[in-house]
Amino acid sequence: MTVSPARILLAVLFAGPMALGSAGVGAAERAPRVQASSAASDLQAQIRGAAAKVKPAIVNIAATVLVRDQALSDEGLPFGLFPEGPPRRQYGQGSGVIVSEGGYIITNNHVVAEATEVEVLLADRRQFKGRVVATDPKTDVAVVKIDATGLPAVAWGDSSRLVVGDFVLAIGNPMGLNQTVTFGIVSAVGRADVGVADYEDFIQVDAPINPGNSGGALVNVQGELVGINTAIASVTGGSVGVGFAIPSNMARAAMQSLLKTGRVVRGFLGATTQDVLPQLGKLFGLPDVKGAIITDVFARGSAEKAGLKRGDVVVRFDGKEVLDSGRLRNWIAVSAIGSKHKLEIIRDGKSLQVELVIQEAPRERSKRITPQVKSEADGHPFGGLMVDEITPAIGRQLGFGSITGVVVTTVDEGSLAEGAGLMPGDLIMEVNRQPITDLLSFQRAVQPIKPKDLSLLLINRQSTYLYIPLEGE
C-alpha cells in the first residue's frame, strides 16, 4: 500500500505507544510519547485550519470552447473546399482562486483559453458568469472576473521562502470533485523545462494533483497562497505524485501587471543564452557544469551596454548561483525595469564582474540545398556532414538575411554530427571560436581537427544561436 508523506509522519509519531505498550515504562520514557502526540496534534490542527481557511476561496471553473472538426469525404480524405465541419461545443473544467473580495479570480490560462463562455461555481454553491479579463500564456496565468462583492479571498504568501520538505496543501476540483484537499511536501523548487509555459520556475509537489486541479491553490500550513497548481507528470493521466505549481510571486506579479497595463512587463537580458553541458563546460574552461552561456548579444540591449560578449558564461546574478539559463531568464524577467544588478561572468577562463541595467522585453508581434562540400573521414567529428555557402537566394530562403556562415545541407544518419544534434538548415557561424564566412574558411577551420578532438561550433537555428560540442571517436 502506498502511504502519503503525511501518513508516514503521523505513523512514526504514533508508533511509540502502540509498539512499546505500558508495562514497565517510567515517567522519563513516557515524556517523549506525550511530546510526539502533541506535535502530531499541532500539525493536524494546522492542516485543518489551513484547509478551512482557504476552501471558501476555491472555485470551480467550467469553460465552453467552440471547435470545428475537419469534414471528410467518403474515402476519409479532407474536402478541399470545405475543410471544416460545423462548430460544436466542447466543455472543460478547472479550478480558480478568489484573490480579491471584489470578484477577481486567478487561474491557469489553459483553463480558459479561447473560451466563449465561463461559468464560476463558488464554494457556497452560488453560480456566476465569468469574464476573462486578462491572460498571459507565457506564464500560463489568467484572470477571471465575476460581478460579486464581499467574497472570501485567500491571503498571498511568499513563494520564495519555500524550501524542499515544507508541508503544502493542494485545493481544487480534481475530476470535478469540488473542494478536494490533498496534502504533501515540496519536492523541489525552480523546476524548468517542463514544457508547459515559456517562463517556468515551478514548485514540484507530491500532494496528489489530478485533471481539474489546474488553476487551484497550493497553500502552506498557515493557509497562505504559495502557488497555482498547473500540471502533472504522468504516464496514465492521473496523479503519480509529481505535480507542478506556478510560484505565487510569479503569478501575483503577472496578474498585477495584466490588470494595470493589459500585458506583463518583463525584464530582458538583451541576449540569448543556453545551458552549460559537460562538454561545453570543458571547452569553456568552467569549474562546474553550471551557468548560462551568452550565444548572441542584441544591439543596444542591456547585455551589450553591460559589456557582455558572445561566449561569456554568467555564473552569478546578484550573488545567487546561476544553475542554468532558465533560472537567469526568470530572475531577469521579474526584475524592475531600470534596476541595476551585479553579474559575475567567466570570459576566457577569467572571472569578471559587470553591472546590468534591466530593460523591458520587446513586445510581441529547415530546407535542403544542393550540397557542395562533404567530409567523408571515418570517425572524424565532421564526417557525414554536408555544407554549402550562403548565397543571397539561400539566405532569403532560410531567413538568415546578411548573416555569414555555411549552411548544413545533409547530416548522415548515425554520424557523430547527428549525435551532436546538428540538423539540415543549421548555419555554422564559428568553429572553435573562429568566424566562418564561406566554404574556404570552413575548410581551413576543420582541416587541423583530428578524429578524437573535441570541437566547439556556434550555429544559428531558426534565429536562435546555440553552441554545440562535437567530438570524434
Per-residue pLDDT of 172-209, as tens digits, reads 999 888 999 999 999 999 887 777 788 888 999 999 98
Up-side HSE of residue 43: CA atoms within 13 Å toward CB?
A: 19
Which of 218, 235, 262 is the C-terminal boundary of a domain?
Answer: 262
* Residue 394 and residue 345 share a domain: no
Instruction: Give the least confident one: 60-74, 83-97, 183-197, 304-318.
Output: 60-74
- Highest-confidence range of 133-137, 180-184, 425-429, by mean pLDDT? 180-184
Give the whole-number percent of the chain exceeding pLDDT 90.
48
* Residue 106 and residue 240 share a domain: yes
* Residue 28 and residue 15 share a domain: yes
Nearest to 292 by CA among 321, 263, 328: 328
| Between 39 and 379, the higher pLDDT residue | 39
Q: Is residue 78 part of a domain?
A: no
Residue 308: pLDDT band with limits 50, 70, 90: very high
Q: What is the CA radius of gyration of the chain?
A: 28
Q: Is residue 217 part of a domain?
A: yes
| Between 113 and 14, the higher pLDDT residue | 113
**Which position has the grid cell 464581499?**
150
Residues 331-349, mean pLDDT to the nearest whole number: 93
Q: Is residue 81 part of a domain?
A: no
Q: From CA 327, how far away is CA 188, in angstroms rounded?
A: 14
Give the whole-number percent of the chain exceeding pLDDT 70.
82
* Residue 246 and residue 100 share a domain: yes
Asked if the model's pLDDT at residue 30 lies above 50, the reply is no
Query: Residue 114: how many CB atoms within 10 A of its CB?
Result: 13
* Residue 115 and residue 251 share a domain: yes
Helix, strand, or coil (residue 53): helix
Q: Is residue 248 part of a domain?
A: yes
Residues 336-340, mean pLDDT to the nearest whole number: 93
* Residue 377 and residue 346 share a domain: no
Asked if the model's pLDDT at residue 283 lies above 60, the reply is yes
Range of the domain at 9: 5-55
Q: In terms of residues, how long is the chain?
A: 473
Residues 239-252, mean pLDDT to the nearest whole number: 91
Residue 352: pLDDT band with limits 50, 70, 90: very high
**Which position has the grid cell 553591472?**
355
C-alpha cell at 392: 543571397
DSSP run (H or E) holding 250: helix 248-261
The runs of H, that is alpha helices, within 21-137 are 27-54, 109-112
Residues 107-122, mean pLDDT to the nearest whole number: 92
The CATH number assigned to the domain holding 178 equals 2.40.10.120
| Between 232 and 303, the higher pLDDT residue | 303
* Mean pLDDT (the chain, rounded): 82
Residue 85: pLDDT band with limits 50, 70, 90: low
**Which position has the grid cell 498571498?**
156
Per the CB < 8 A criterion, the answer to whether 118 and 61 are in contact is: yes
Q: Angle CA(10)–CA(209)–CA(121) in degrees, nearest 5? A: 115
Alpha-carbon distances of 154 from 5, 25, 104, 185, rounded to whole Å:
25, 47, 11, 20
Asked if the model's pLDDT at residue 107 lies above 80, the reply is yes
* Residue 193 and residue 44 share a domain: no
Q: What pLDDT sits at residue 391?
A: 61
Q: Is residue 75 part of a domain?
A: no
* Residue 439 and residue 347 share a domain: no
Which of 205, 235, 262 is the C-terminal boundary of a domain?
Answer: 262
**Amino acid found at 394:** I
Q: What pLDDT sits at residue 430?
A: 93
Instruction: Give the least confident one: 74-83, 91-100, 168-177.
Output: 74-83
* Residue 246 and residue 155 share a domain: yes
- Structural domain count of the chain: 4
Q: Is residue 436 part of a domain?
A: yes
Helix, strand, or coil (residue 315): strand
Q: Is residue 367 part of a domain?
A: no
* Residue 47 and residue 101 share a domain: no
Per the CB < 8 A criterion, the answer to whether 299 and 310 are in contact is: no
* Residue 243 and residue 298 share a domain: no
The CATH number assigned to the domain holding 275 equals 2.30.42.10
| Between 2 and 221, the higher pLDDT residue | 221
Q: What pLDDT sits at residue 364?
A: 53
| Between 383 and 464, the higher pLDDT residue | 464
Q: What pLDDT sits at residue 365?
A: 39
Which of 310, 338, 360 is the C-terminal boundary of a domain?
Answer: 360
- Known catalytic residues? 110, 140, 214
Q: Alpha carbon 114 to chain centroid distance?
A: 22
Alpha-carbon distances of 2 from 11, 181, 241, rounded to whole Å:
13, 18, 11
* Residue 445 and residue 390 share a domain: yes
| Between 53 and 438, the higher pLDDT residue | 53
Q: Is residue 366 part of a domain?
A: no
